[in-house]
A and B are shown apart, each in its own frame.
Chain A
Amino acid sequence: MTDSSSIPADTRPQTRDLRTPVSILLFLLALCSPLFLGTYAVHALVIAMIFLLPAHGLNLLVGYTGMLSLAQAAFFGIGAYCAALMATHFDTSFPVNLLAAVVLAMAVAVPLGIPALQLRATSFVMCTLGFVIITQAIAKNWISVTRGDMGLSGLPKPTFSLGGLSWTASTAQQSYYVALGLAALATFVFWLIVRSPAGRNLIAIRENETLAESLGVPTWRYRLAAFVLAAGFAGAGGALYAHYISVASPLMFQTLYTTTMLIIVLGGGSGSISGVVIGSILFVALSEGLRIAPELRMIAYGACLLLLVFRFPQGFAPYLSKLWDRIGGQTRKEGSA
C-alpha cells in the first residue's frame, strides 16, 4: 500500500485530507449495501451488528479498564430472555423490550459486580465465567418463567409504532436497517463514554490502578460503572438477537457466544472503537466464509484464532489507524521500507 512517489516523511506537508469524504462514502456504503448484497450477506452483517453490541461492552472492560470479563454472554442472555418474555407476555413493541433488556441487564450487573470486582486477574475471570454457568442453570430450571429447555420461540420481528403508524422489519434487509441504527447508536454512546472525562479515568485505571487511586480517582466506583455499562450493551444485543433469531433458549449460554465476543474485541483491537466495528465484520466474514468447507470449518477457525493471537496480538486496529492516517494525508516514518 506504500506509495513510492510520496514525499519524504520529515517535510510532511498536509496533502489532501480525505477523511471526511471517505467517512461519508463508508456511511453511504453501509446505507446502500442491502441494495446490492444478497440476502445471505445482509443476514451475515445483521449477525455482525448483533454481536457488535456486547463486544462494545467487552471492549469497555478489556480495552479501557483492563478487566477480562466472560460474563457478557450472561447479560446477553438476560437481555434476550427479558425481551422475549416482554414480547410474549405483554405484547410490547421492540423499543420497549430493548429498553427493558438494557435496564434489567444493568440492574443485575450491580449486585454481581460488587463482589466480583473485589477479585483480580484469573479469579475475576473464573467468577465471571461462573455467572454464565449459573445463569444457564437458572434459565433451565426456572421453568414457570423461562419454560426451561423448551425455550421461548416464535418471537415477533422488531416492530416500531408511532401513533397509528406501525412498521415491522420482517425481511433481512429491513432488519439490517434496524440493526444498523442500533449499532450506530451504540457506537456513538460508546464514543461519548470513552471521550468523556470518565473515559479518561478508566484508561488511567487500566494503565496504573494504584497511581490513579493516589490521584484521587475513585477506581472501584469507576470499574463498577464500566461493568454495569458493559452489561447494558450486552443486554441491548440480546434483545436484538431475540427479535431477529426469534428464539430464546438456554443454548444461548454456550461457550461459542463468549468466544465470539472475545474474538471480535481481540481481533479488532481492544481499546479501539473502529477496530471493534471492523472486528465484528471480519469475524462474520471468517465464520461464514469457512462454511465453504464444513468438515474443516471449526479446525480452520481454531487455527485462525492462533494466528490472531500470535501474528496480530494487537488485532487489526494498528493497521486501521495507519490506513486512516494515510487517508488523512499524514505519512509516518514506518511503512516506507
Chain B
Amino acid sequence: MMTIFLEQILNGISTGAVYAIVAVGMTMIFGVLRAINFAHGEYYMLGTFGGWFVISTIGLPYPAAVIVGVVVTMAIAYVIGRFVMQRMIGMPEEGSVVATLGIALILQNTVILVFGGGYKFFSAGYIEPVFFGDIGIAQQRLLIIALCIAVFVGLELLVTYSRMGKAMRAVSQNVEACAVVGIDVRTVVLSTFVLGTGLAAFSGILTAPVNVSVYGGMGEIITFKTLPIIVMGGLGNVRGTLVAAMILGIAESFVAGNFGLQYRDSVGFVTLILMLLWRPHGLFSARARF
C-alpha cells in the first residue's frame, strides 16, 4: 500500500516537473506584461518540432536537438515579441486574449502547413526505465526532474542577482515607476518573453521522448494545463509556480489513480476555483496584485 502511495507521488512529481518548466515561463511573461499568453503551448510545440525536425532530417544527436529546438523557438519568439508582444504593454485584457489566441492560430496552422498535419513519431532520448524495487521510471523522467530543479535554481539566481532579473521584478511590480526611473520596459518585456518561451520549448523537447507523438495542435492542451497553475502559484510568482505545479501534478496523479483518468483534466480548474474561493490571491500572496 505504501509503495503504491509513493509511486503515485513520484508519478505526480514527474508530471509536475514538466508543468513547472512550462508554467514558470508563462507566469514570468504575465508578470511583466499583465497578459495571459494563450499561445504559450505553441512554443512548447515549436520546440518539439524543431527537435524532431533536426533529428529526423540530419540525424542530430538528442542533446544537440534540444539546443536547436530551444534556439529556433527563441528566435521565432524574438520576432513575435518585437512585433506583437511589445505592443501589448498596457493593453486591456480582452485585447491581449484575442491577440495571443491569434498568434496561437498562426503558429499552429503554419506548422501544419509546413510539416503536414499528420502526427510524427519522436524516437530519440533516454527512454529505458530504471527500477527502484518495484517502482520503475524512465531515465528521461529523472532527467526532467533534475533539469526542472536546475531551471528553478537558475531562475532564482537570475531574478535575485542579475540586472535583468531585477528589472523584471521591478516591471512586474510597477510599470509606471519603472518608466520613471529609466528602466526600458519594452526591452524587459521582450527578453522575458524570449526567456519564457524558450523554457516552454525546452520543456516540450524534454518530454518528447516519453510523449512520442508530435503534431501541430499539441500545444493547446499544455496551455490549458498551465493556466490554473499560474493562478494558483500567484501570477508572476516563480517559486509559487513550482509548488503549484507539483501540487497539481500530484493531485492529478491521485485522481487518475483512484477515480478515473477521465476526471483528470477537471482537477486543475476545480482546484483553482476552490482555491480562489478560499484564497483569492494565490497560495502565497496575502493580497491581490492582479
Contact = CB atoms under 8 A, between A and B. Distances in A.
A170 interface: no
A126 B290 contact: no
A309 interface: yes
A186 interface: no
B94 A302 contact: no
Interface in A267-323: 270, 295-299, 301-306, 308-310, 313
Contacts of B103: 302, 306
Q: Which of B95, B113, B262, B269 has the most CB of A within 10 A?
A: B269
Interface stretch (A31-39, A133-141, A187-195): A133-141
6 contacts: A68-B94, A126-B227, A126-B276, A133-B268, A305-B98, A313-B91
B181 interface: no
Contact of B108 (A298, A306, A310): A298
Interface in B219-260: 220, 224, 227-228, 231, 235
B55 interface: no
Interface of B: 30, 34, 36, 84, 87, 91, 93-99, 101-106, 108-110, 113, 220, 224, 227-228, 231, 235, 262-263, 265-266, 268-270, 272-273, 276-277, 280-281, 288, 290
Given A119-B276, A127-B276, A299-B113, A133 B105 contact: no
A122 B290 contact: yes
Given A122-B290, A130-B273, A270-B94, A306 B113 contact: no
B288 A120 contact: yes
A262 interface: yes
Contacts of B220: 255
A207 to B, nearest CB: 14
Contact of B94 (A115, A262, A304): A262
A68 B93 contact: yes
A302 B106 contact: yes
A153 interface: no
Q: Which of A120, A140, A302 has the most CB of B within 10 A?
A: A302
A299 B290 contact: no
Majority secondary structure of chain B interface residues (helix, strand, loop or mixed): helix
Contacts of B104: 302
Interface of A: 62, 68, 115, 118-123, 125-127, 129-130, 133-134, 137, 140-141, 255, 259, 262-263, 265-266, 270, 295-299, 301-306, 308-310, 313
A118 B276 CA distance: 9
Contacts of A129: 227, 269
B98 A298 contact: no
Nearest to B223: A255
Contact of A137 (B101, B109, B263, B276): B263
Contacts of B98: 259, 262-263, 266, 305, 308-309
Contacts of B270: 130, 134
A298 B263 contact: no
A119 B280 contact: yes
A262 B288 CA distance: 26
Contacts of B277: 115, 118
A130 B267 CA distance: 10
A133 B290 contact: no
A305 B100 CA distance: 9
B116 to A, nearest CB: 11
A134 B231 CA distance: 17
B101 A259 contact: yes
A305 B99 contact: yes
B231 A310 contact: no
B97 A123 contact: no
B29 to A, nearest CB: 13
B97 A130 contact: no
Contact of B95 (A115, A122, A313): A313
A134 B276 contact: no
Nearest to A310: B87
A305 B93 contact: no
Contacts of A298: 105, 108-109
Contact of B105 (A115, A137, A299): A299
Contacts of A255: 101, 220
B111 to A, nearest CB: 10
Contact of B99 (A123, A127, A310): A310
A127 B102 contact: no
A296 B110 CA distance: 8
B102 A303 contact: yes
Nearest to B101: A259
Given A134-B273, A299-B105, 13 more contacts: A68-B97, A115-B273, A115-B277, A125-B36, A125-B93, A126-B231, A134-B269, A137-B266, A296-B113, A298-B108, A299-B106, A299-B113, A309-B96
Contacts of A313: 91, 95
A119 B279 CA distance: 10
B95 A140 contact: no
A299 B289 CA distance: 35
A309 B280 contact: no
A120 B281 CA distance: 10
